[in-house]
Amino acid sequence: MSSEMSRMKFYCDDDRCIECYGCSVACSEAHELPVGISRRKVITLNDGIEGKEISTSIACMHCTDAPCEQVCPVDCFYIREDGIVLHDKEVCIGCGYCLYACPFGAPQFPRDGAFGTKGAMDKCTMCAGGPLETNSVHERELYGQNRIAEGKVPLCAAVCATNALLVGDAEEVSKVYRKRVVSRGKGA
């Protein structure tokens, strides 16, 4: 256990990720997302090219210095003490600035309507809900499950078949990964 204040982070070990989509499907299923809203995406580069193919899983990286928070014109973002970046959907105006600022393509917008009209932004909450009353029906409807409040691991990492997707206190995640790198004798 770390003596520091914990800071929650995701990390995807691309030597382990096999593009199984387990994380992405579990996320959509758990939070009952509309099809097309991918809080978590699985990306493969150089698909099928010998020796070059690589897969990874990406969602909101819960940045320390979150650019989304900095560009938001209505200030709907807030960063919890444990580092999880959340936002208030009832304040969000769906302008899309955060999407331009985010280096990971994390913010998602509803795609229905004739011209793909934007509603409130949706993104990975690290399964920590939103600003509403914890585990209330209202919170669940707007933000999905709040597993963190229940002491549970975010679902994407919980279902990861190969333990590629790691989540938790940054130091702990780093320890797990460092151990792998050391015994592999290569990487990082």
> Which parts of this chain interact with other proteins (CB under 8 A)?
15-16, 18-22, 24-25, 28-29, 35-36, 47-51, 53-55, 161-163, 180, 183-185
Q: Least CB distance from residue 25 to other proteins, whole Å?
A: 5
Looking at the Cβ atoms of 36 and 96, the one nearer to other proteins is 36
Question: Least CB distance from residue 13 to other proteins, whole Å?
Answer: 9
Residue with smaller CB distance to other proteins, 27 or 121: 27
Q: Given the complex with other proteins, which of 5 and 35 has the nearer CB atom?
A: 35
Contacts of 40 (CB under 8 A, 6+ apart): 23, 24, 27, 57, 58, 59, 124, 156
Q: What's the closest the beta carbon of residue 82 comes to other proteins, in angstroms?
A: 28
Match 């209505």 to its residue by tokens. Answer: 74
Among 180, 170, 182, 70, residue whose Cα is nearest residue 126 = 170
